[in-house]
Structure 1
Amino acid sequence: MCNYVRIKSTPKELEKAYQAEYFGDDYTRDDKINGFANPKLPVILDHDTDHIVAAQWGFLPSWAKDREFAKKTLNARMEEVHQKPTYKNYTNNRCLILVNAFHEWKWLDDKGKRKDNYLIKIKDQEIFALGGLYNIWVNPATDEEILTCTIGTTEANPLMAEIHNTKHRMPILLNNQIEYRWLDDIPVEDFLYPNYNPELTAQNLTNLESHSLF
């Protein structure tokens, strides 16, 4: 799955890359951002492509009782969203989640005691988008409105299957030719592997070796 991302780009750099104005709260910037801390990530929402805003990583449906639920919703298996109670009413609430890369670990033994950490990117793109879903959750205790998001995932392509060798999954990675189509309510299936297969690069941070697909 995708539980750690890298975001180093400044708001100004995101604005230049996406021709959109950054607005609102700050997002987290770091080499390795832990999704389980429910950080804020920069996103572009389907109904407002002129702005970049910060959303909590960890999806909260309207019926969620508290924010702890978000620990379980960092990722959404997009093949199943139309059946899952958490997501089925939000499949057209689409967003672009802007990152520089994401981390995945390759198991080197059966129990995962030894792992290599890989940093994965779309080839030749310093900044790219992950396909996500969002909802504005209202905290029942305080009436505070919180923008939340999840990263959509699909079956792994050959490179990611080699790295994510336990569950064989990968996030929906959108290159700059296709990213805005994700916001147009085009069927999810069009973005799932093998229907869509962006060219990726992966760097082994543990051994400092590079490994690219083809």
Structure 2
Amino acid sequence: MCGRFSLAEDIHRLQMQFQFEYEGEFYPRYNIAPSQNILTVIQGNKGRVGKQLRWGLIPFWAKDEKIGYKLINARAETVDEKASFKHSLKKRRCLILADGFYEWKKDGKTKQPYRFVLKNREPFAFAGLWDRWEKGNEIIYSCTIITTRPNELTEKVHDRMPVILTRENQDAWLDRTIEDTEYLKSLLVPYDAGEMETYEVSTLINSPKNETKEVIVPLN
């Protein structure tokens, strides 16, 4: 699964790299956790738009918004089969921006957190889905991160990893005219391990309350 990530890049650099318009506040995040608002990019009528969406997808048909706590991730292998995700897969796809993500490796009774980044330290985009949920006067826009099997690097720590889209696949993922689920699923593959690296970080990351730069500093 993917249950924690970071995005501490300058908003203007993100806009240049991912080509989106954005209005609103933005500040560095080192320890992003489920149920928090996160920066996503969707395809609008006049181009790409940056939106803050709640992490934890609430399907439009859900009776209770609490279902979002269980839907922070969607499995690539079954994303077109699950009622919670199949509509969004065809109609509501997004990029979820990040510059690193965390996984925990079990070591006896303890769990050691690791941070995964690109070797070039550039920000990247997870494959995401979003939805709009409405009940009475309340409207919530939410999203989920798609996960896949691990690559040779991440498998040393965890048996799943978030789908990181290549730059070539980002355009297709956001293209609203594409509804071929088999083609879309073909994009949901492990990222090239040779372009990534990992390092141990402090257990400060375990608590979402710790939102300082210290959490991304290598232990060694």
Superposition TM-score, scaled by structure 1 size: 0.82
Task: Judge conservation of contact 2:118–2:196 (CA < 8 Å) in 1.
Answer: yes
1:197 maps to what in 2?
Answer: 192
1:40 maps to what in 2?
Answer: 37
User: Deviation of residue 201 (structure 1)?
Assistant: 1.4
Instruction: Give the length in aligned residue pairs.
Output: 197
Mark the runs of 5 or more structure 1 residues left unpaired by the alignment.
210-214
Greater than 3 Å deviation, 4+ residue runs: 26-29, 46-49
Q: SS of the counterpart of 2:171?
A: helix
Amino acid aligned to 2:19: Q
Task: Judge conservation of contact 1:6–1:101 (CA < 8 Å) in 2.
Answer: yes
- After superposition, the Cα gap between the structure-2 partners of 1:197 and 1:190, relative to the gap in structure 1 and judged at 3 Å, is farther
User: Deviation of residue 34 (structure 1)?
Assistant: 1.5
* Percent sequence identity over aligned pairs: 32
Which of 139, 142, 150 matches 2:144? 150
Write the deviation string for residues 112-148 of structure 1: whole angstroms up to 9, x where unpaired. Answer: x31111111233142110000111111x132x32221
Moved more, 181-190 or 55-64: 181-190
1:212 maps to what in 2?
Answer: none
Partner Cα separation in structure 1 for residue 44 and residue 15 of structure 2: 17
Task: Judge conservation of contact 1:157–1:193 (CA < 8 Å) in 2.
Answer: no
Which of 81, 93, 114 matches 2:79? 81
2:2 maps to what in 1?
Answer: 2
Give matches, 1:120-131, under 5 Å: 120-131=116-127
- After superposition, the Cα gap between the structure-2 partners of 1:181 and 1:159, relative to the gap in structure 1 and judged at 3 Å, is same
User: Deviation of residue 27 (structure 1)?
Assistant: 5.6
Q: CA RMSD in A?
A: 2.1
Partner Cα separation in structure 2 for residue 192 and residue 43 of structure 1: 18
Task: Return the structure number with greater helix share.
Answer: 2
2:107 maps to what in 1?
Answer: 108
Moved more, 3-12 or 100-109: 3-12
- After superposition, the Cα gap between the structure-2 partners of 1:91 and 1:19, relative to the gap in structure 1 and judged at 3 Å, is closer
Moved more, 125-134 or 39-48: 39-48
Mark the runs of 5 or more structure 2 residues left unpaired by the alignment.
203-217
